[in-house]
Homo-oligomer: A and B are copies of this chain.
Amino acid sequence: MDKDLLINLLKSVADGKTCVADAVEKLDHMAYEDITYAHIDHHRSLRKGFPEVIFGEGKTAEQIVGIMEKMQRQENIILVTRIDQEKADVVLSQFPEAVYHTDARMVVMELNKIITRGRGPILIISAGTSDIPVAKEAYLTARAMGNTVDTIFDVGVSGIHRLLDHHDAIAQANVLIVVAGMEGALPSVVAGMVDRPVIAVPTSVGYGVNLGGMTALFAMLNSCSSNVAVVNIDNGFGAGYVASSINRD
Q: Which residues of A contact B (CB under 8 A)?
A: 31-32, 36-39, 41, 43-44, 47-50, 52-53, 55, 57-59, 63, 67, 82, 127-132, 153-162, 165, 182-185, 188-189, 191-197, 199, 202, 204-235, 237-239, 241-242, 245-246, 248
Tell me the complex Cα distance, A3–B50, Å: 38
Show 8 residue pairs from A and B whose CB-CB distance is below 8 angstroms, ordered by the A residue.
Answer: A39-B153, A39-B154, A53-B226, A158-B192, A183-B219, A208-B233, A210-B218, A227-B241
Tell me the complex Cα distance, A191–B73, Å: 26
Q: In this complex, which of A59, A212, A223 has the most chain B Cβ atoms within 10 angstroms of its Cβ?
A: A223
A48 engages B195 (CB within 8 Å): yes
- For the complex formed, measure the closest distance between the CB of A138 and the CB atoms of chain B, giving whole angstroms: 12
B241 engages A226 (CB within 8 Å): yes
Contact partner of A185 (CB less than 8 A), chosen from B37, B185, B229, is B185
Q: In the assembled complex, which residues on chain B have CB atoms less than 8 Å from the CB atom of A209?
A: 214, 217-218, 221-222, 232-233
Contact partner of A47 (CB less than 8 A), chosen from B48, B128, B129, B193, is B193
Tell me the complex Cα distance, A196–B215, Å: 25
Contact partner of A160 (CB less than 8 A), chosen from B160, B214, B228, B245, is B160
A185 and B207 in contact, given A48-B194, A231-B221 (Cβ under 8 angstroms): no
A224 and B127 in contact, given A159-B43, A218-B218 (Cβ under 8 angstroms): yes
- For the complex formed, measure the closest distance between the CB of A185 and the CB atoms of chain B, giving whole angstroms: 3
A154 engages B207 (CB within 8 Å): no
B224 engages A128 (CB within 8 Å): yes
